[in-house]
Amino acid sequence: MRIVGVDPGLHTTGYGVIDYRRGRVKLVEGGLIETEAGRELPSRLAALYRGFDEVLRQTRPDVAVVEQLYSKYDHPQTALLMAHARGAVLLGLEHRGVETVSYTASMVKRALVGHGRASKRQVAGMVAQLLGTALDDVSDHVSDALALALCHATPWAQAGRTGRGAAGLSERRDARGKRT
């Protein structure tokens, strides 16, 4: 199964693609999609959509994991811009017919490190360990995206997807917004 993790942001969106087969993970690629800060919002969203669509076209993932937004933000304007970026990413995934799931940051931290309050450094260290590679020069956005993809490949996420436990850890919604 090919999994793309996405850490959406209006200025910088990180993505990480892994292959997961028989309990083993392999790094395929990771990168950033950046938009021009001085441009109008519609232009930036279109650039993000086009850049992400190219990633999807080239990597052909089976499933995408997009970080779930949380409800309490210290900077609401930033949250709104992130929501716009997340929408462009979700539109691209729907356009390509890619199954999409979401996890909260604390779920990812719990799956990879063992507790939901792990630091970014701890998560990045576990990502590097699981992928068997050094991620010293990798953007936090790419590391976070890879963490999302790896979270989906963990046993508890797989169990939650097949109904054998870990209920409620992944969120899927139909076109009407109802959980499926």
SS3 assignment, position 97: coil
User: Of 7, 40, 74, 174, which residue is the catalytic one?
Assistant: 7
Q: Which two tokens stand for residue 131?
A: 């992928």
Is 174 marked active-site?
A: no
H runs (alpha helix) in 35-163: 41-59, 76-96, 105-113, 120-131, 140-153, 155-162
User: Of 34, 99, 140, 171, which residue is the catalytic one?
Assistant: 140
Is 74 marked active-site?
A: no
Q: 53-65: buried (b, 16+ CB within 10 Å) or exposed (e) per residue?
A: bebbeeeebebbb
User: Of 67, 94, 137, 171, which residue is the catalytic one?
Assistant: 67
DSSP structural state of residue 164: S
Q: Which two tokens stand for residue 72?
A: 């309490």
Return the sign of the alpha-carbon dihedral for residues 48, 158, 110, 21: negative
Is 54 marked active-site?
A: no
CA angle 51, 129, 158 (to 5 degrees): 70
Catalytic residues: 7, 67, 140
